[in-house]
A = this chain, B = another copy of it.
Amino acid sequence: MDFAASPRAKELTDLVTTFVTEEIEPVVDDYHRDVARGGDHTTWAESQIMTELRAKARAQGLWNLFLPVGHDQPYAEQFGTHGGAGLSNLDYAPVAEAMGRATTLAPYVFNCNAPDTGNMEVLLKYGTAEQKQTWLEPLLDGQIRSMFGMTEPGVASSDATNMAATAVLDGDDVVINGTKWFSTGVGHPDCKVMIFMGLTDPDADRHHRHSMVLVPLDADGVEVQRMLPTMGIYDEPVGHGQVRMTDVRVPQSNLLLGAGRAFEIAQGRLGPGRIHHCMRLIGQAEVALELAIKRGLSRTAFGKPIINLGGNRERIADARMAINQARLLVLHAAWKLDTEGAAPSEVSQIKVVVPNVAQQVIDMAIQLHGGAGMTQDLPLSAMWTNARSLRLADGPDEVHRGVVARAEIGRYKEATR
């Protein structure tokens, strides 16, 4: 149960931290001004700032660091030039925390952003050679981006078996119909492919009805209908889109792993991604706490630095205690995922704890800043929205609490829901 990062992970964390501080933070505001376009568009332009940052990061070897390439050595050799760092989840954790400090840019700068990371892992693990060549290689190379089509507007997506979109086998093809939303990344001009999840065989058992299919976004019948703000924020140029598919036809060779195996793939896809999300949120909570203290020291009211007024110091202490506990919980989940291959309760635990802790710490930091905390002058409102949305994305808190409870109660008796 050793949570210390390896020397290689420490070195990468330092490099990423330096890059974030010296290269990214100074241009964050310019970048956001560059890409700000609001919600009238369904595709936005990328900023030249990002192109340059990505080139610079890649030149320093800070590229695809999330990729546990060691798990698939032959592939590592094949794509060595843009291969990952071979880090365990525990080792990648502090790297992700460092990226979290500039969360709206950094993950993409280092080609470590969701949902591309999860999609690349799926392709790496389950893709055919052809699928790898067509989609994985350009993703690893940063030429294209991707989206993941799972959540639907018409059903309670917290129960994944509710999914209504269809992927029907028809001759050599798969015919796809339905609407997905909260498809992150689809607003980006480089977004070229979706991993689509849909119903293939309604008569199969609950967890073998759905398939995953690779769908090029320029296929006939794919329409990005609109972009969705989360709490008023569009996250340009990435965006979260609503995508309608009408009789979209792709060859069966675009199926991942074969028909009816979507849940099997989804299962493995989400663990590491949740570690990444949570560690980035820890990074954001640290930024929020730091901003709160600095503001509290620099502004005065009623004759005192505001940090010394009322319960403010207690709030700082509460934030520190909450962050430390949350980080240790994530490291423990990562360690268990690394050592046991799966840690469903632990991963659900962090998925509940960390976004809530981050939301509270950021809310506190906003409050300590007064009105400024809610403006575009500070990253707090974007960070808040990100934390809030992660209480729903990848499964709402309530579903994850259910997973934790089932594991806990199951130790004593198999209780029905």
The chain A residues found within 8 Å of chain B, CB to CB, are 1-4, 36-40, 151, 153, 155-159, 162, 181-182, 228-233, 289-290, 293-294, 296-297, 299-302, 305-314, 316-318, 320-321, 324-326, 328-329, 332, 345, 349, 352-353, 363, 366-367, 370-376, 381-382, 384-385, 388-389, 391-393, 396-398, 400-402, 404-406, 408-409, 411-413, 415-417
Question: Quick check: A156 and B370 within 8 Å, CB to CB?
Answer: yes
Q: How far is the CB of A15 from chain B (nearest CB, A)?
A: 21
Q: Which residues of B contact A389 (CB under 8 A)?
A: 371, 374
A316 contacts B371, C-beta separation under 8 Å: no
Q: Does B401 contact A318, Cβ atoms closer than 8 Å? A: yes
Smallest CB–CB gap between A291 and chain B, Å?
Answer: 10
CB pairs A–B below 8 angstroms (15 shown): A39-B376, A156-B301, A158-B301, A159-B302, A228-B375, A231-B381, A232-B233, A289-B408, A294-B412, A307-B415, A310-B313, A310-B401, A320-B349, A325-B325, A371-B393
Q: Is the CB of A293 within 8 A of B412?
A: yes
Measured CB to CB, the nearest residue on chain B to A294 is: B412
Pairwise interchain contact A409-B181, C-beta atoms closer than 8 A: no
* CB of A183 to closest CB in B, whole Å: 11
A313 CB to closest chain B CB (Å) equals 4
Closest to A401 in B: B317
A375-B299 CB under 8 A given contacts A2-B1, A2-B4, A313-B310: no
In the complex, A158→B368 CA distance in Å?
10
B residues in contact with A325, CB < 8 Å: 325-326, 328-329, 353
Chain B neighbourhood of A402, CB < 8 A: 310, 313-314, 317
A409 / chain B contacts, CB cutoff of 8 Å: 293, 296-297, 307, 313, 316
Are A404 and B2 in touch, CB under 8 angstroms? no
**Which chain B residue has the least Cβ–Cβ distance from A381?**
B231
Cross-chain contact of A232 among B317, B372, B381 (Cβ < 8 A): B381
Contact of A385 among B231, B308, B363 (CB under 8 A): B231
Please determine whether B385 and A314 come into contact, CB atoms closer than 8 angstroms.
no
Q: Is the CB of A317 within 8 A of B182?
A: no
Rounded to whole angstroms, the CA-CA distance of A191 and B203 in the bound complex is: 63
> In whole Å, how far is A326's beta carbon from the nearest beta carbon of chain B?
7
> A3-B1, A308-B415 given as contacts; is B156 within 8 A of A405 (CB)?
no
Partner of A324, one of B299, B301, B324, B329: B329
Asked whether A408 and B158 contact (CB < 8 A) given A3-B3, A372-B153, A375-B229, the answer is no
Query: Which residues on the B side are within 8 Å of A320 (C-beta)?
Result: 345, 349, 404-405, 408
Complex Cα distance A389/B37, Å? Answer: 24
- Residues in B whose Cβ lies below 8 Å from that of A376: 39, 228-229
Q: What chain B residues lie within 8 Å of A229 (beta carbons)? A: 232, 374-376, 381
Q: A230-B375, A367-B397 are in contact. List 7 more A-B contacts (CB 8 A).
A: A157-B371, A228-B376, A232-B385, A317-B349, A321-B349, A367-B398, A371-B392
What residues of B have a CB within 8 angstroms of the CB of A228 in the complex?
371, 374-376
Q: Are A302 and B417 in contact (CB under 8 A)?
A: yes
Contact residue among B159, B349, B382 (Cβ-Cβ distance under 8 Å from A301): B159
Once the chains are docked, how many angstroms separate the CA of A4 from the CA of B415? Answer: 32
Whole-angstrom CA separation of A81 from B345 in the bound complex:
45
Nearest residue in B to A357 (C-beta to C-beta)?
B325
B-side contacts of A371, CB under 8 Å: 151, 157, 181-182, 228, 230, 389, 392-393
Contacts of A384 in B (CB 8 A): 231
Cα separation A182 to B325 with both chains bound (whole Å): 31
Assuming the contacts A182-B371, A231-B231, A404-B320, asked whether A297 and B392 have C-beta atoms less than 8 A apart, the reply is: no
